[in-house]
Structure 1
């Protein structure tokens, strides 16, 4: 009898423990976080892992992440918004620039000579602009962050570029449609190419160089096949920037408990955007130091050449305003607001 009672007690305790474990597991939500670049990139550790660790700690383990870098869930960078919308991923990092026409209000953030060259300045301007004018672009998502990829730098393999004349005929990798229009306006030839293929393209002479932020150059070894890098001054609007977003599936967010929603909210928004901006700016400074130490030439263009480039690319903004207006947007107002916010957050 004692043996049977002992067995019953053991079974009862085991059942309770299993029940408790199941209850804990049921309370744990694991989010699939997808992005398009490798684990060696600053974004993976400094932003994706940072955010995942933050929400896990804040939720006392009730929220966790499974990160899928380098498009491990399939598709292309341009397909990441649909992957989030359709639930293939719960969260994804991508750029609206990869899907031309899909985020029409956000396109204004790519206009040449409009935003500060730093990621932090550009991010604060982008966040404020998006909150005021761009949220309709993201009605199908929960926006966790909006940040700037910082100013593109013009990097070349064999020829220093310090003016429009130097750009004539050069084939450069372009990161987006409006960066391509900017380069075409200066007499260069834009080439659309995934960033992972740029180093090989330059090494084989397919392209003469690339338009990319400082932060990206050593990450994909562009610095090893280029020698010259041209930018404007720190207190001048950058050539053009790439906006980035971290998006969450709206239904997934809405399905969380109020407690877990609050965790997401506390660790997202402008605060997460600024975390990403600092990662970008720190990466840019580290990249510049690395390039200078290995003998690459960092060039700053003169005001006269900078102003000539601005004048030559005015048509990019004019054309965008016409297209935006044709789509029912107040293109002139949106462009003007970007410039106003750019000046607001410019380093003085």
Structure 2
């Protein structure tokens, strides 16, 4: 009798262990990440991949991020991919879908800042404090809102030292604010994705491109664009968002959400800014070693450019007033003040 009892207790203990193991396994939530960044790209290698590993570590394996073998949908559609649950986690660029994230575009206006290491974390904090309430990202929880390096101008025709030098140049533009800037400067904007730049420059369709300096060697353009122009303060920045499907985010425990939030937000943004600042420096070293010219626009020309590009700000103000922003100028002034005060 005792022997049978012992066997029964042992059997129950084994069953209990198996049940416990099943419960632990069931607690792992897998997050599907739709990745479009190429292998070796700075944001992917230096920031996103370490962040993915850190998420699993700080949640003790309860949240595991699985990078899908290829992007789900198109790059411009990544917000919808996350919102509709086709994938859970994305990086999306609001500027790729004009007239949709208008209020967020405040950080893309001319002369907001040219130091990504300082500006990227400022943009994340500014979004949370001043822009989140407008609910432009409904359905997607923004883990980090940030900028990369500002686009600078690279061309194959001539050094740019005055505003007149822009006239007639066919320049690739990545977003609406840079397209408007090129038009106001007398250049011819051509809206094309970054992947087509090499072919369009080498065939002579394009004279140049707006691009973060870090990307010039990365896309093998150093020999195609001998003239680099740095505009102090920057003609434009590009906002990116690391976002997760809202329902997926809510499915995590509060403790795991808090832990992930601590390593996201402005901390993630600063890491992005640092990676791009480092990449820009390396890119300019490569460009100079190749014997190319790097012109910094002098202050009087920058002052003239600010006047020429003033309509971009005015148009944005009018646009977002219609979206319910009572005092758009206050937002512009606040973001510039936040950047000026940033360490």
Alpha-carbon distance in structure 1 between the residues aligned to 2:39 and 2:126: 30
Bigger drift between 300-309 and 172-181 goes to: 300-309
Runs of 5+ consecutive residues of structure 2 not aligned to the other structure: 1-6
Aligned to 2:281: 285
2:237 to 222, 237, 241: 241
Report the secondary structure of 1:78's partner residue: coil
Matches within 5 A, 1:119-198: 119-135=116-132, 136=134, 137-198=136-197
Aligned to 2:222: 223
2:337 to 334, 337, 340: 340
Do the aligned residues in 1 keep the contact of 2:198 with 2:221 (CA within 8 Å)?
Answer: yes
Q: TM-score, normalised by structure 2?
A: 0.90
Task: Give the 3 Å change call, closer, same or farther, for CA 152–29 of structure 1 in structure 2.
Answer: same
Alpha-carbon distance in structure 2 between the residues aligned to 1:162 and 1:13: 80
Report the secondary structure of 2:76's partner residue: helix
Q: Deviations over 1:9-62 (max 9, x none)?
A: 998887666545433321212211223321221111112101101111112222
Do the aligned residues in 2 keep the contact of 1:35 with 1:92 (CA within 8 Å)?
Answer: yes
Alpha-carbon distance in structure 2 between the residues aligned to 1:200 and 1:41: 20
Alpha-carbon distance in structure 2 between the residues aligned to 1:18 and 1:224: 63
Q: Please tell me whether residue 202 in structure 1 is matched to residue 198 in structure 2.
A: no
Q: Deviations over 1:144-180 (max 9, x none)?
A: 1111122211001232122211110001111110011
1:314 to 298, 305, 310: 310
Q: Deviations over 1:313-345 (max 9, x none)?
A: 111111111122233223332233233333333
Give the number of equivalent residue pairs: 337
Aligned to 1:85: 83
Structure 1 residue 204, shift from structure 2 partner: 0.8
Task: Give the 3 Å change call, closer, same or farther, for CA 21–73 of structure 1 in structure 2.
Answer: farther
Runs of 5+ consecutive residues of structure 1 not aligned to the other structure: 1-6
Alpha-carbon distance in structure 2 between the residues aligned to 1:161 and 1:105: 32
Q: Please tell me whether residue 67 in structure 1 is matched to residue 64 in structure 2.
A: no
Alpha-carbon distance in structure 2 between the residues aligned to 1:125 and 1:239: 18
Bigger drift between 195-204 and 294-303 goes to: 294-303
Structure 1 residue 108, shift from structure 2 partner: 1.1
Alpha-carbon distance in structure 1 between the residues aligned to 2:216 and 2:10: 62
Aligned to 1:3: none
Do the aligned residues in 1 keep the contact of 2:147 with 2:238 (CA within 8 Å)?
Answer: yes
Q: TM-score, normalised by structure 1?
A: 0.89
Task: Give the 3 Å change call, closer, same or farther, for CA 295–24 of structure 1 in structure 2.
Answer: farther
Structure 1 residue 232, shift from structure 2 partner: 2.8
Do the aligned residues in 2 keep the contact of 1:36 with 1:94 (CA within 8 Å)?
Answer: no
Task: Give the 3 Å change call, closer, same or farther, for CA 193–14 of structure 1 in structure 2.
Answer: farther
Aligned to 2:98: 100
Structure 1 residue 253, shift from structure 2 partner: 0.9
- Aligned-residue CA RMSD in angstroms? 2.4
Alpha-carbon distance in structure 2 between the residues aligned to 1:14 and 1:157: 73
Report the secondary structure of 1:223's partner residue: coil
